[in-house]
Amino acid sequence: MSPIVFGILAILLVMSGLGVVLARSPIRSAMSLVMTLFFLAVMFLLLDAQLVAALQIIVYAGAIMVLFLFVIMLLNLQEEPAALGRVGLRYGASFIVSLFVLAAAHFLTTGTLQPGNAMADAVAPGFGSTEQIAERLFTQHIFAFELTSFLLLVAVVSAVVLAKKNLQ
Amino acid sequence: MILLIIISLVKALIAVHIVLIFAGVLGWIERKGSALIQDRIGANRASIFGFAGAGLINTMAADPLKFLTKEDIIPDGVDRLLHTLAPCVNLFPVLVAFCAVPFGDVLHLPGGVDVSLQAIPLGVGVLFVLAMASIGVYGVVLGGWASNNRFSLLGGIRGSAQMISYELAMGLSIVVMVMTFGSLDLQEIVRAQGHLIGGWLPGWGILYQPVAFIVFLIAGIAESKRVPFDLPEGESELVSGYFTEYSGIKYLMFFMTDFAEVATIAALITTFFFGGWQVPYLTPDGFVFPGGASLHINHYVIVLMQFGAYLLKVLFWSWFQIMLRWTLPRLRYDQLMWFGWKRMLPVALVNMVITAALILALQGAP
Amino acid sequence: MAELYLPMLITCLLAGAMVGSLVFAGQLLGPHVENPAKGESFECGNPSTGSAWGRFSVKFYMTAILFIVFDIEVVFMYPWAVVFRRLGWFGFGEMMTFVAILGVGLLYVWRKGALEWD
């Protein structure tokens, strides 16, 4: 991936990410998050991970964010008042998050996580192809794969239990 | 590099124009077809120098111009940004999804340039189309939410719940087709349908997977929110559903999306079940009939014939979906959900299991 | 790399330009006449009361969460469908276990009446 394409994408990603935090209306926040996920999928595409990119959109943007929107509408969330909650808590939280961002920036600029290095040598022929992912997933990682189904089962059951009062 | 850009641009222009022209023509088929069925004449007033083209001028030229020059009213108290964004988010994914469907085989240009006739050639084309279909939900939700109108909101929520419910059955029927042809590449799937069964029957997908075809057809119509699944816009109860508060060009955009979705579903039906651009008995060298007779044809004529076959098949299945409107009554919402979750989903699941077992048993898997 | 994604980029830009220019042309060509009656939301002639953004049934939320669960199930099937011939009966059994566990989930939801709309 050329640094220019990466730069443009990174700027778009950060901007849509900021949109999630800064938008006053919850629906606009959610839509910014959809955009963030979309650009993230493009990023995967540029890293030769076509399958992951498609699944990113299908599962995150197409399913999970729809649930988010439904919840926002269900609770009828409106624009939040300017200063809600404890101010000290907000400042504390933003301070910790900024620390993480700074640490990430530090590793990105000095460490081995530099975008150039990571890509140059890791990509073997057929890397990220559907066949390769599938063979790994269904042979080496069977246990994790089967456990996923239990996780999903738990999600279904708990959703029904939580909503049961209103269903009947 | 420049050649690549030019070729890609031409292919993209062709694909986008196919779907836009289809949107206009399908509007014409809908109006004239409904008139025919109800024993009326239908749209015939708009004409250019006395030429009305049997009403085609109405939907292809007069309607868009009229909509363009009307005021775009945004009601008070709505979210103006999202109100404008909704029709765009609705139309864009359909246009792009249609472009991923191949409209011909490889075209050999002079100078050794080979062009695969597909605007977006992707190894995971099937997933790309599904991803775009899942993005389409946002146009409906946003249109309903941003309008600050009870009809709109109800239509938007109904519509999105309907779309996600039928997306499951649709996805499962596509899984079955991927299993049958062993590829996620739409062009490969069409190529795999080029062989003949028993030497005379074209090996199209429907012969292998009739159940998946029926599931896909029903789920596709539900995805495009047309009769009998038109609850989100049901005129007699919700005015216009999620686009009640739209006027001018944005209203037209919702309408274009409607017809573009019909064309996209028809294109996918064609690709998965009816051999895409394949013409029966037409090989890259010309016709080879089962009896042994053969006919050599020029390469460019073959490409044109395949393109024509693709357009004809898409037109047929679009027409089929539109004619359903005058055949079936609208479902009730509980029937819709009952059918989607308790009939379509189990049938698609069982079909998947049986297909997998059959394929493995027939090929003698380890 | 460029050969793979350039066509996609060009198509997306073209479709985006098409959609954007439609909205822009509508703004440019259409009249803009202010009128208080136009701004009211459409309620079949009645004056509308209050905001339209009210609460709605929890069933839509249930539908969305069930959709996520089964969508993830289907998503796992795509890579499997590509290689299941090579994986053979072992892969078949693997996927059947997965489907069966989620089938139990579907059955549970069905029996509990979460799929009923009345």
Measured CA to CA, the distance from residue A138 to residue A146 in angstroms comes to 10
Of A67, C58, C52, C33, which Cα lies nearest the Cα of B146?
Answer: C52
Provide, as residue numbers in chain A, all residues whose Cβ is less than 8 Å from the Cβ of B142: 27, 31
Chain C hits for B116, Cβ within 8 Å: none
Nearest neighbour of A153 by CB, restricted to C61, C80, C105: C105
Considering only the beta carbons, identify the residue of B127, B160, B184 that sits closest to A58. B127
pTM: 0.88
Would you call A50 and B142 a contact, using CB atoms and an 8 Å cutoff? no
Residue A84's pLDDT is 57
Q: Which of A134, A148, A152 sits opposite C82 (nearest CB)?
A: A134
Cα–Cα distance between B304 and B293 in angstroms, integer? Answer: 22
The verdict on ipTM greater than 0.90 is no
pLDDT given at position A166 = 54
User: Rounded to an integer, what distance in angstroms lies between the CA atom of residue A153 and that of residue C36?
Assistant: 53
Q: Is C6 on the interface with A (CB under 8 A)?
A: no
Distance from the Cα of B131 to chain A's closest Cα (Å) equals: 5
Would you list which residues of chain A are within 8 Å, Cβ to Cβ, of chain B?
A: 25, 27-28, 31, 34, 38, 41, 50-51, 54-55, 57-58, 61-63, 66, 69-70, 73, 129-130
CA distance C45 to C48: 9
- The whole-number pLDDT of residue A111 equals 65
Distance CA B35, CA B26 (A): 14
A with B: how many residue pairs have Cβ under 8 Å apart? 61
- Name all chains with 3 or more CB-CB pairs below 8 Å to chain A: B, C
Task: Give the C-alpha separation, B39 to B53, whole Å.
Answer: 19
List, for chain A, all residue ranges whose pLDDT scores fall below the cut of 50. 117
What span, in angstroms and rounded, lies between the C-alpha atoms of A167 and B312? 48
Which residues, 6+ apart, have CB-to-CB distance to B113 below 8 Å? Answer: B3, B7
List per-residue pLDDT tens for chain B, 366 residues long.
788 888 888 888 998 989 988 888 888 888 888 888 888 887 777 777 777 777 777 777 788 888 888 888 888 777 788 888 889 988 999 999 999 999 888 888 887 788 888 888 888 889 999 998 888 888 888 888 888 787 888 888 888 888 888 889 999 999 999 988 888 889 888 988 888 887 778 888 888 889 999 999 999 999 888 878 887 777 777 777 788 878 888 888 888 898 999 999 999 999 999 988 888 888 887 788 887 788 888 888 888 888 999 999 999 999 998 888 888 888 888 888 888 888 899 999 999 999 988 888 887 655
* pLDDT reading at C98 higher than 70: yes
B74 Cα to chain C: minimum distance (Å): 7
The two structure tokens encoding residue A148: 């996923």
| pLDDT score recorded for residue B92 | 92
From chain B, the residues in CB contact with C43 under 8 A are: 149-150
Starting at the edge strand found earlier in the chain, the sheet holding B286-288 runs: B282-283, B286-288, B294-296
State the alpha helices, DSSP H only, in C1-118: 2-29, 36-39, 58-112
**Phi, psi at B108, each rounded to 5°:** -95, 110
First to last CA, chain C: 53
Q: What is the pLDDT of residues C2-51, one digit of tens each?
A: 677 888 888 889 999 989 998 888 888 878 887 777 777 777 666 666 66
CA-nearest of B150, B140, B99, B154 to B122 is B99
Rg (CA), chain C: 25
Coil, strand or helix: which one is A13?
helix
